[in-house]
Amino acid sequence: MRMPHLAVGLATVALAIGPLSVVESAEAAMPKQFKNCTALQKVYPHGVGKNKAKDRTSGTPVTTFKRSTAIYNKAMSHNKRLDADKDGIACEKR
């Protein structure tokens, strides 16, 4: 008669572990570093920026970049030169 308790216990463990697996796979899919803008633009053609970043330009601002503060921070931690104009968008393509 202990089988239902075992099933409930296993289901509880699966629910607890499930979200961790999703987080780990998302982090594993995130590029670790980009040597330069050419490498970054192969993955993110219009660049990558913080969620609320706005392009600083005298012309038409770029709005089609990938918005992800986590990816931006990870890329910048390896190469500060990716955001030369320091507007919160790395390697934006005009």
Q: Distance between CA atoms of 90 and 49, rounded to whole angstroms?
A: 6
Give the pLDDT of residue 81.
Answer: 94
Q: What is the Cα gyration radius of the chain? A: 20
Q: Tokens in use for 78?
A: 């390896």
- Return the sign of the alpha-carbon dihedral for residues 31, 28, 64, 68: negative
This model's pTM is above 0.85:
no
Read off the pLDDT of each residue in 54-68 and give the average, rounded to a whole number.
91
pLDDT tens column, 4-58: 655 555 555 555 555 544 445 544 555 557 899 999 999 999 999 999 999 988 8
Domain boundaries, the chain: 1-29, 31-94
Cβ–Cβ < 8 Å for 85, 62: no
